[in-house]
Amino acid sequence: MSSPPTSGSPEGGSPGSGLLTFGETMGLVAADGIGPLAYAKSFSFGIGGAESNVAMGVARLGGEATWLGRVGPDAAGALIASRVAAAGVRTLAITDESFTGLMVRHRRSGEFAQVDYHRAGSAGSRLSPADVPSAEITAASILHVTGITPALSESARAAVFQSIETARAAGVTVSVDLNYRAKLWSRFDAAPVLRDLASRADVVFASPAEAELFVGPGDVPAELAKLGPAEVIVKDGGDGCVALIEGERHTVPALAVTVVDPVGAGDAFVAGYLADRLAGASPAERLTTAITAGAFAVTVPGDCEGAPTRAELAALTGDDVRR
């Protein structure tokens, strides 16, 4: 059993416009400092989820965004609903009888982080097609989904593909971030599903490694574009991004910043691109905003805490002292 969705505050935007996204957001236990988990002396507790990260990023950049998902009847579920809404996102949190998923993250060294998931049978994995109203989809400007949700359960996968078909039939732009997670499913299982997602999308985001799960090496944007999306954006961390948008190629280098925490950079990048797309910006402007938002995110610890406002984006490339 589950409770009806609860909406965020009116400041989170109005139904029927902007971005609609859905998926699992979890509680996040993060070890402070760097080193083996066994030697961590303190921990912080927050939230993390690719889709809600993007929604929060869009909202902070002035766009309207709605996030929908299932959460448990627990403190972590309540925190997710309140924190996403507090970021200005219209929040449709369905209270499920199961628990809110949890992830535990630590920085084993300064070079990489490790994340362990505790989400099998979680509230978020119980998402189903009935949870995503057609009216919400058809009234949105952009439907954004990721390759994470189809890996959670059969019902969650069905929710993604049914929502995409509803959006396509209504002429709503479909955005997909492939977001392959090796701890959720194998490359063999993921490849055909991710390929199917890309072929149904108008906008596709991928890393080179994610794209090469199902396209050959070489010109990755061109290979992805052959599947049908008009906008292909290949995000490559410190190497910036390469995009093929309506047949025009764009290459944007990364910004030089001090990396504090790389987690969440990809979601901030996507949020920057989609926020500018909603605002009617040109492809070049969207990519510049995306690169800058991603760069800003890595300078702040946490999954979603680093998503910048427009003023903060401008500050990143200007004077580093705010007086």
Q: Which residues are catalytic?
A: 267
Q: Where are the alpha helices (DSSP H) in the chain?
A: 50-60, 75-86, 134-139, 154-170, 187-200, 208-211, 220-225, 265-278, 283-297, 310-316
CB under 8 Å to 179, separation ≥6 — which residues? Answer: 50, 146, 147, 148, 210, 266
Distance between CA atoms of residues 197 and 180, nearest Å: 12
Would you state the structure tokens that stand for residue 32, as one six-digit string?
């402070």
CA angle 96, 97, 100 (to 5 degrees): 65
AA identity, residue 187: R
Distance between CA atoms of residues 70 and 275, nearest Å: 24
Distance between CA atoms of residues 19 and 52, nearest Å: 11
